[in-house]
Amino acid sequence: MAVAKMSLAKALNESLRRALDTDPKVLIMGEDVGKLGGVFRITDGLQKDFGEERVIDTPLAESGIVGTAIGLALRGYRPVVEIQFDGFVFPAYDQIVTQLAKMHARALGKIKLPVVVRIPYGGGIGAVEHHSESPEALFAHVAGLKVVSPSNASDAYWMMQQAVQSDDPVIFFEPKRRYWDKGEVDTEAIPGALHAASVARTGTDLTLAAYGPMVKVCLEAAAAAQEEGKSIEVVDLRSMSPIDFDTVQASVEKTGRLVVVHEAPVFYGSGAEIAARITERCFYHLEAPVLRVGGYHAPYPPARLEEEYLPGLDRVLDAVDRSLAY
């Protein structure tokens, strides 16, 4: 049977296993990815089965991890590197932004940079500082990178396969608070394109657009709204760069309303880009301005306040009401 129920974390593990199995050039690199299997156990058992040549514990140096992955990629390898937590990607940000993203263009397309940077991101797990952030917009702003985030086990499995096979660098944001959520994975399915959005729930009154950890919240909000007789469509963007605006547009042309939801701060966030583009594309279809729900222009707060900071069901429904009130 090709269909199995597994957690999002397990789906990533199985996907990485398959990638290592399929292509001898695939490497896993990062802090604690070997014996420990990563702090979230995403690489659990991989070093045992593929050896230290393929699953490499690196020194504690993020710039080093990404910088050497670039070199390995130039030599024909396909490194999949793990950044332990969102807040620790910044020592590597320089390598990602100034080097990884631009090298293909600088070499007139003659070299390829098939590097995947895996980043567990987002809040909701009661962690300390630097362990709950959503820096996706900082990467999506940079040309040359693909930025994606699965919201469920099946997408985790397939998007990781596609990310590894991509000849472009992919920043792969893993919604850490969904790691333990289970879903069905068909390991023989034919997946949609990596950048394609999917309609996670159909509806006619309003569109909720989200990705990663917020898709579940939006589905719950849509279910709650249904009880009040409101029909909400939920679009799972899956990719934050590029964004599949066609799917969003089609949905908004149907519903006339859009609310974008993400954990990252609203100010200069991905919701701003979506709101602007959809306003351009759907001006005459919109019944209300595109609204955004997300984090505040404040540092991610200490754990005891994160429930206030993160968009929850209530805040999403509040935005739905505000949109419908126009």
Partner 1 sequence: MTVESTAARKPRRSSKRTSAAKTPAKAPEGSAPELVQLLTPEGERVEHPDYSIDLTAEELRGLYRDMVLTRRFDAEATALQRQGELGLWASLLGQEAAQIGSGRALHDDDYVFPTYREHGVAWCRGVDPTNLLGMFRGVNHGGWDPNSNNFHLYTIVIGSQTLHATGYAMGVAKDGADSAVIAYFGDGASSQGDVAEAFTFSAVYNAPVVFFCQNNQWAISEPTERQTRVPLYQRAQGFGFPGVRVDGNDVLACLAVTRSALERARRGEGPTLVEAFTYRMGAHTTSDDPTKYRADEERAAWEAKDPILRLRAYLEKQGAADEAFFTALDEESEALGKRVREAVRAMPDPDRMAMFDHIYADGNPLVDEERAQFAAYQASFAEEGE
Ligand X SMILES: Cc1ncc(C[n+]2csc(CCOP(=O)(O)OP(=O)(O)O)c2C)c(N)n1
173 contacts which partner out of ligand X, partner 1, none, CB within 5 to 8 A by kind?
A: none
Are 215 and 156 within 8 A, CB to CB? no
Judge whether 131 counts as a catalytic residue.
Answer: yes
How many angstroms separate the CA atoms of 47 and 65, rounded? 17
Token pair, residue 272, equals 């701003």
Q: Rounded to the nearest whole angstrom, what is the least distance from the CB of residue 204 to partner 1 in the complex? A: 27
DSSP for residue 192: P
Q: Contacting partner 1 (CB under 8 A), which of 42, 80, 127, 217?
A: 127
Q: Contacting partner 1 (CB under 8 A), which of 17, 25, 277, 285?
A: 25
Q: Per-residue string for binding with ligand X, 14-43, x by CB under 6 A?
A: -----------------x------------
Q: Contacting partner 1 (CB under 8 A), which of 4, 17, 18, 91?
A: 91
* 244 contributes a contact to ligand X by CB under 6 A: no
DSSP for residue 136: H
224 contacts which partner out of partner 1, ligand X, none, CB within 5 to 8 A by kind?
A: none
What CA–CA distances, in Å, run from 245 to 5, 177, 187?
31, 27, 28
Q: Per-residue string for binding with ligand X, 56-95, x by CB under 6 A?
A: ----x-x---------------------x---x--x----
In the region spanning residues 172 to 231, those forming contacts with ligand X, defined by CB under 6 A, are none
Q: Contacting partner 1 (CB under 8 A), which of 4, 7, 17, 64?
A: 64
Q: Rounded to the nearest whole angstrom, what is the least distance from the CB of residue 65 to ligand X in the complex? A: 9
Q: Rounded to the nearest whole angstrom, what is the least distance from the CB of residue 207 to partner 1 in the complex? A: 22
Dump the DSSP string for 27-96: EEEETT-STT--TT-TTTTHHHHH-TTTEEEPPS-HHHHHHHHHHHHHTT-EEEEE-SSGGG-HHHHHII
Site size toward partner 1 (CB under 8 A) is 53
Residue 157 has a CB neighbour count (10 Å cut-off) of: 27
Residue 251 has a CB neighbour count (10 Å cut-off) of: 24
Q: Rounded to the nearest whole angstrom, what is the least distance from the CB of residue 22 to partner 1 in the complex? A: 8
Amino acid letter, 58:
T
How many angstroms separate the CA atoms of 100 and 207, rounded? 35
Q: Contacting partner 1 (CB under 8 A), which of 52, 184, 246, 280?
A: 52
* 99 contributes a contact to partner 1 by CB under 8 A: no
* 169 contributes a contact to partner 1 by CB under 8 A: no
Token pair, residue 64, equals 């080093």
Token pair, residue 258, equals 């859009």
How many angstroms separate the CA atoms of 32 and 30, rounded? 6
Site size toward ligand X (CB under 6 A) is 6
The active-site residue, picked from 131, 141, 195, 285, is: 131
Are 214 and 261 within 8 A, CB to CB? yes
Q: Contacting partner 1 (CB under 8 A), which of 191, 192, 301, 312?
A: 301
18-26, 170-178, 250-258, 274-282 -> range binding partner 1 (CB under 8 A): 18-26
Helix (H, G, I), strand (E, B) or coil at 171: strand
CA dihedral 166, 35, 22, 70 (to 10 degrees): 30
Residue 104 has a CB neighbour count (10 Å cut-off) of: 17
Task: Point out which residues bind partner 1 (CB under 8 A).
Answer: 22-23, 25, 31-32, 34-37, 39, 52-54, 56-61, 63-64, 75-78, 87-88, 90-91, 112, 114, 126-130, 164-165, 167, 267, 296-299, 301-305, 308-309, 315, 318
- Show which residues are catalytic: 131
